[in-house]
Structure 1
Amino acid sequence: MPPWLGAVASSDEPGLYLPDEAPWIVHADMATLVGGIRALLMQALHPGSLTGVRSHSRYKNDPLGRLSGTIRWLTVTTFASTESVTTEADRVNKMHAHVKGKYKTSTDKTVDYTAADPHLLRWVHIAFMESFLRSHQHYSTRPIPGGSDAYIRLWAKSVIPLGLEDAPTSEAEMLADIEHYRSELAVTDETRDVIRWIKDPPLPATSLPAYTFLFKAALASMPRAYQEMIGLGHPSLKLYRPITVNLLKFIRLAIGPESPIEEAAIARLHRAGMMKDNVVVSRE
């Protein structure tokens, strides 16, 4: 049972999303295992977000703790009540308040940064969102209600409590934003150090074969230009797609069909009058 189950189950209020909406569908899917790896790779390519991770994160000394914090934010924001989302955003904002320093840009200019800087926060959001979207499109068999635009538009609400009020709301806007950041991306020795860690994290030996494959699947889903920057080859999406789809199905089968988080969220939505007999009946 995840420790944030209580945050999802508590309250009789609705949350940001419903079970038939795009963020819920995408974030409840096993393709998020690939999306999380891909997001880390994308975020590492920006010197600002990279410096924040290296200087203020416990990713090396406590990798599972670092990952747990990210999963908690994603889970609570997607499935919990608006009250719990506000509480979780406050936790993240307080953490971000201590993340500050200097970094060298792609043109070797030293600049100040904070984790709450809207420009850096926007990159982290876009890299995260695009990675989860593409991973779902490539490796899940579940259609996204409303397609890419619906996911991007609805997930933009997730970062408003973090101070980002102008996130892209369509796929065209997201792609334009990614292109805008292209000139800021760079690969340095520090970048390669983080990428090596993402590629070979200190996981239990029993988990490494599956993780290694999922890492390759994440890399395969990235545009060629980003594969070139990362410098770990060009795994074929055509090859990895069918195998990854089946691997994720096997992982889901091994875990079991139950989803305590979704079940708790749906029970809360029934109490809130938003659902009846597991069907959405209200969007107010």
Structure 2
Amino acid sequence: MDVIAPLRDRLRLTFAGQTEGVPAWEDALDQGEDAGYFPADSAVWRVHGGMTPIAAGIRALLLQALHPGALAGVAEHSNYREDPLGRLAGTIRWIFTLTYGDTTAADAACAHIRRLHVPVTGNYTDAHGEQRRYSANDPGLSEWVHIAFTDAFLRSHEIFRGPVSARLGGADAYVEQWATAGKLMGVIDPPRTEAALRARMREYDDGGHLSGGPRVDEVVSFLRNPPLDPLLMPGYRLLFAAVVDSLPGRYRELLGLRAPAVPLPGGRSLRIPARRGGQLTLAIAGLALERQGPSELAALRRLARIGQPADLTYADPGLTALGHAPAGYRTVRERTRVGTGEEAFMRLANGILDWELHRGAGLRVAAGTPRAAPGVRVVSGMGVGPARIPAPCRVLWTREPDGSGPRRAGFGYGTLKGHPVSGEESFSAVLEADGSVWFEVLAYSRPANVVMRAAAPVTERTQALITHGYVSAATRLATG
């Protein structure tokens, strides 16, 4: 029994608006013909991945509420009280489309938000008590929203996961990369280093642009007790406390919040280590949800389809489509006649593409789609229970059995992290001019790490057995 399923359903309903399947807009991120504004190995992908964006969303809303102009726009033109989950879903869609989509989708998402902002205008009272005019598309107002967002996501990652890896360029790289989002949203000169981000936030406070007050109190009260499913509320309260604890004292003061603490005799208090509660909440959410979200997986499918796979464990992918194997790898080539005629060819071709070849060879297959397609992630493996060895791969190319006369069909996939070897393998059904049907395997690989290098003789023997299983399965498929 899946004891975590109720939590998973509540979380999916909260973030995606549905408990089953994937929202159509997320699946659509596999469309497009470029890699988007942010590479898969970028700091933006790292910071926006995982569970820390949940905490970042809370922090961003608190910070954005400190600008009376931004807050007035939300209070007077938003239905966040009546439909908070709908507003959340819209924000998530914008963030992930910009992060993972191609440039066309990202541009369209930003243009859509800016169009929605056109009628968001009015008056507000600034921190000095003066009446001012606001417009949601005003560059100054957009800048505060942008830097509050940037700070929230960066700090949440640092607090709950640790510093942005130096390999990815650290915090400066994230600020620099996400400045692209600011410019797309109309910010004239977004900060491009962490130091510039901190300085710009101080300028807003020192210039008297930030303030508290009754409207801020209303937002804080809402965020403290949002209308979430009762199952989610205990974890949310822990996370909210951790976010509040992480805020600079000045912002807590403006928000009317205090760091979590237990009162002690004599008017003293003991700070509660709220960060641990937040980390626990995010860890549980991570157990309930997928390690890689649907948006990220859709982007990876697009990258594989356009020939820019981002998560393979080896270089120069796609060579099996050309029948080539690079130097420095152990190469396996198998070509066996398995039948005769069009029907045998079609049975074999469809069996390969529908994963029946793998299952027939004794492998357990968990694929992202019933039929192989570029970008699909598939995990096969042998063994039972703890002894089962997983072998995650991503499909790089496919060839359907279209047309007539001599032809070939099949697919090739490359290894992902966690696979015992690094390399690529392809499976093809071939119909020759004389009507003979052949099954071909081309694989090139080398051990993925030191441990597997030591176990190379066992690995090679296992590969030989699996290849033999493929040939037997191919023969059965072709003969029907």
Fold match (TM-score > 0.5): yes
The structure-2 alpha-carbon separation of the partners of 1:30 and 1:142, relative to structure 1 and needing over 3 Å to count, comes to: farther
Partner of 1:75: 96
Partner Cα distance (2:198, 2:291) in 1 = 35
Preserved contact between residue 127 and residue 210 of structure 2 (Cα < 8 Å): yes
Q: 1:275 aligns with which of 298, 309, 318?
A: 309
Letter in 2 for 1:35: A
Letter in 2 for 1:153: E
Q: Secondary structure at the match of 1:12?
A: coil
Preserved contact between residue 195 and residue 230 of structure 1 (Cα < 8 Å): yes
Partner Cα distance (1:161, 1:280) in 2 = 34
Partner of 1:184: 209
Preserved contact between residue 9 and residue 80 of structure 1 (Cα < 8 Å): yes
Partner of 1:162: 185
Q: 1:148 aligns with which of 161, 165, 171?
A: 171
State the structure with bigger RCO (CA 8 A, min sep 6), 1 or 2.
1
Partner Cα distance (1:203, 1:280) in 2 = 44
Superposed CA offset, 1:53-75 (max 9, x none): 10111101111111111111101
Partner of 2:400: none
Q: 1:250 aligns with which of 277, 281, 284?
A: 284
Letter in 1 for 2:83: D
Preserved contact between residue 274 and residue 281 of structure 1 (Cα < 8 Å): no
- 1:29-40 equivalences in 2 (<5 Å): 29-40=50-61
The structure-2 alpha-carbon separation of the partners of 1:238 and 1:13, relative to structure 1 and needing over 3 Å to count, comes to: farther
Preserved contact between residue 68 and residue 127 of structure 2 (Cα < 8 Å): yes
Residue 43, structure 1, aligned to residue 102, structure 2: no
Residue 195, structure 1, aligned to residue 229, structure 2: no
Preserved contact between residue 266 and residue 278 of structure 1 (Cα < 8 Å): no
Q: Secondary structure at the match of 1:275?
A: coil
- 1:209-224 equivalences in 2 (<5 Å): 209-224=234-249
Partner Cα distance (2:311, 2:87) in 1 = 37
Residue 256 of structure 1 deviates from its aligned partner by 3.5
Partner of 1:2: 23
Q: Which runs of 5+ in 2 are unaligned?
A: 1-21, 262-270, 317-480
The structure-2 alpha-carbon separation of the partners of 1:142 and 1:19, relative to structure 1 and needing over 3 Å to count, comes to: farther
Q: Which aligned runs of 4 or more in structure 1 are off by greater than 3 angstroms? A: 141-144, 279-282
Residue 238 of structure 1 deviates from its aligned partner by 7.5
Count of matched residue pairs: 282
The structure-2 alpha-carbon separation of the partners of 1:277 and 1:199, relative to structure 1 and needing over 3 Å to count, comes to: closer
Partner of 1:260: 294
Q: Which has the higher strand share?
A: 2
Residue 22 of structure 1 deviates from its aligned partner by 0.5
Superposed CA offset, 1:195-229 (max 9, x none): 11111111111111111111111111110111122
Preserved contact between residue 7 and residue 84 of structure 1 (Cα < 8 Å): no
Superposed CA offset, 1:134-187 (max 9, x none): 010000157442111000000001122222241000011111100010021111
Q: Secondary structure at the match of 2:172?
A: helix
Partner Cα distance (1:119, 1:64) in 2 = 27
Q: Which has the larger radius of gyration?
A: 2
Partner Cα distance (2:163, 2:292) in 1 = 17
Among all aligned residue pairs of Structure 1 and Structure 2, give the percentage whose two residues are the same amino acid. 37
Partner of 1:54: 75
The structure-2 alpha-carbon separation of the partners of 1:243 and 1:192, relative to structure 1 and needing over 3 Å to count, comes to: closer
Q: Could you say what the CA RMSD is over the residues aligned between the two structures, in angstroms? A: 1.9
Q: Secondary structure at the match of 1:87?
A: helix
Using the size of structure 1 for normalisation, the TM-score is 0.93
The structure-2 alpha-carbon separation of the partners of 1:12 and 1:48, relative to structure 1 and needing over 3 Å to count, comes to: same
Using the size of structure 2 for normalisation, the TM-score is 0.56
Preserved contact between residue 127 and residue 211 of structure 2 (Cα < 8 Å): yes
Superposed CA offset, 1:29-85 (max 9, x none): 211111100000001111010001101111011111111111111010000000100
Q: Which has the higher helix share?
A: 1
Superposed CA offset, 1:104-135 (max 9, x none): 10001111110010001000000111011101
Q: Secondary structure at the match of 2:133?
A: strand
Letter in 1 for 2:44: P
Partner Cα distance (2:273, 2:247) in 1 = 14
Partner Cα distance (1:13, 1:74) in 2 = 18
Letter in 2 for 1:270: A
Partner Cα distance (1:164, 1:96) in 2 = 14
The structure-2 alpha-carbon separation of the partners of 1:246 and 1:203, relative to structure 1 and needing over 3 Å to count, comes to: closer
Letter in 1 for 2:231: T
Preserved contact between residue 89 and residue 161 of structure 1 (Cα < 8 Å): yes
